[in-house]
């Protein structure tokens, strides 16, 4: 889908294998790369990523920070902290995690990014709600003053892909 001068696209696959300049890690506030996608990023990308995260020290829920991509195809990783279901103001925090990630792209002159379905794993956020918020926040941002060329939502499962596809068609 074309939005202003940018493209939004969906891919089913492994975000650690994406050829975009940036991939997003759905991070915890301490920026500790433990299990799940963060663990895969650490294993495939190497210790340099976690070392940079330790130096940064953490960020707030809804915040985002940028590090090297280590040995990954992506040159950079944006660590976006999404909300845990039940902590309050989850929708606003998820929207802020997306917007802060996109702002970091523009601040660093980066053009292509791949995002997962933030907070839908162990944080328990409903995938349908996630798709609606992530896609609408991205479209709104891309309609503004940005140099981002491509935003890819990289969904691991067929079900998640279908939910994002349906939401992209609806909006």
**Model pLDDT for residues 105-150, shown as the tens digit of each residue:** 999 999 999 999 999 988 999 999 999 999 999 999 999 999 999 9
Can you give the pLDDT at residue 106?
A: 98
Question: For 81-96, how does the pLDDT look when each residue is reduced to its tens digit (9 = 90+)?
Answer: 999 999 999 999 999 9
Instruction: Point out which residues pair with 27 in neighbouring strands.
Output: 81
pTM: 0.96
Domain boundaries, the chain: 2-170
Q: Would you give the DSSP letter of residue 83?
A: P
Residue 121's Cβ-count burial label (10 Å; 0-12, 13-18, 19+) is middle
pLDDT digits (tens, 9 = 90+) for 6-59: 999 999 999 999 999 999 999 999 999 988 889 999 999 999 999 999 999 999
Per-residue DSSP letter, 149: -
pLDDT at 171: 62
Burial class (CB in 10 A: 0-12, 13-18, 19+), 44: middle
Assigned CATH topology for domain 2-170: 3.40.220
- CA R_g for the chain: 14
Distance CA 54, CA 66 (A): 12
- Which region holds residue 6: left if phi is over 0, alpha if psi is between -120 and 50, else beta? beta
Per-residue pLDDT band at 170 (split at 50, 70, 90): confident
């Amino acid at each position: 889908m074309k939005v202003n001068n940018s493209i939004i696209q969906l891919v089913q696959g492994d975000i650690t294998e994406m050829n975009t300049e940036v991939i997003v890690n759905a991070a915890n506030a301490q920026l500790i790369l433990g299990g799940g996608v963060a663990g895969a990023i650490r294993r495939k990308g190497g210790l340099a990523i976690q070392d940079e995260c330790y130096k940064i020290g953490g960020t707030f829920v809804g915040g985002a920070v940028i590090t090297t991509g280590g040995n990954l195809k992506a040159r950079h990783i944006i660590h976006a902290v999404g909300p845990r279901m039940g902590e309050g103001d989850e929708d606003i925090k998820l929207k802020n995690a997306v917007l802060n990630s996109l702002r970091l792209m523009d601040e660093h002159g980066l053009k292509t990014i791949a995002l997962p379905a933030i907070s839908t794993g162990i944080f328990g956020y409903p995938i349908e709600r996630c798709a609606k918020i992530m896609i609408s926040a991205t479209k709104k941002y891309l309609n503004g003053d940005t140099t981002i060329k491509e935003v890819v939502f990289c969904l691991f499962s067929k079900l998640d892909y279908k939910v994002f596809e349906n939401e992209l068609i609806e909006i």
